[in-house]
Amino acid sequence: MTAPMNPQAVIGMLAELERIRELTLDLLEREAPQLHPTPPDDASTTERSVFDVLLGARRAVLGNPATARRLHDLLIAEGRRYADTPRGARLRDQLVASEAVDDLRRVWESVSLNVLGGPASLNATPDAWADLLADAFIEHGLDDSILDRLRPEGFA
């Protein structure tokens, strides 16, 4: 039986995972340069800044597809639950009727290339996770013993 990995070894392995991920993404952008377009020459400073932010968002999504998908599904699950409340339903109706949301949706689809579309997997998100956490932290507190289990000796 091998000994448990020490913190330094764990960090080293995670750093290697990050290095491989970055190299893969670099290769992807090199082999598919259309994913990383150059900004227009006559772009103003503001347009250039927006362009850079959007490209950064694309790189974040394409470079971390599973994480992005998970976050996407979490937000949607929470949004659906919020829409079941009077306040959430009112905000939902306002968003549906918003021209700015239509514009933002178009931008998001262009940036993400719709890689996050499609139905979420069943039970992908815990029910009411935002309230669950808020209630745990604010209303009931959290026993130190629970946190201790998440913080193995030597790691934090």
Partner 1 sequence: MTLTDPREALADQSDFIGYLVGLAGLAQVVHILAADSRFGDVDGSAPPRDADDFVHALLGLARMGTAIERFANSAVAHHNPSDAFSLPASTVETSPRDDPTVGWLR
Residues that bind partner 1 (CB under 8 A): 11, 14-15, 18, 72, 74-83, 88, 90-101, 104-105, 108, 117, 130-131, 133-134, 137-144, 147, 156
Q: In terms of CB distance, is 1 or 96 closer to partner 1? A: 96
CA distances from 57 to 13, 62, 83, 105 (A): 26, 9, 27, 14
Q: In terms of CB distance, is 51 or 82 closer to partner 1? A: 82
To partner 1, the closest distance from the beta carbon of 76 in angstroms equals: 5
To partner 1, the closest distance from the beta carbon of 152 in angstroms equals: 15
Q: Which of 28, 36, 41 is nearest to 56 (CA)?
A: 36
Tokens read off for 61: 């999504």
**What is the C-alpha separation between 93 and 104, in angstroms, rounded?**
16
To partner 1, the closest distance from the beta carbon of 89 in angstroms equals: 9
Q: Which residue has the tokens 């026993």?
A: 143
Q: In terms of CB distance, is 23 or 32 closer to partner 1? A: 23
C-alpha 26 chain-centroid distance: 20
To partner 1, the closest distance from the beta carbon of 50 in angstroms equals: 15
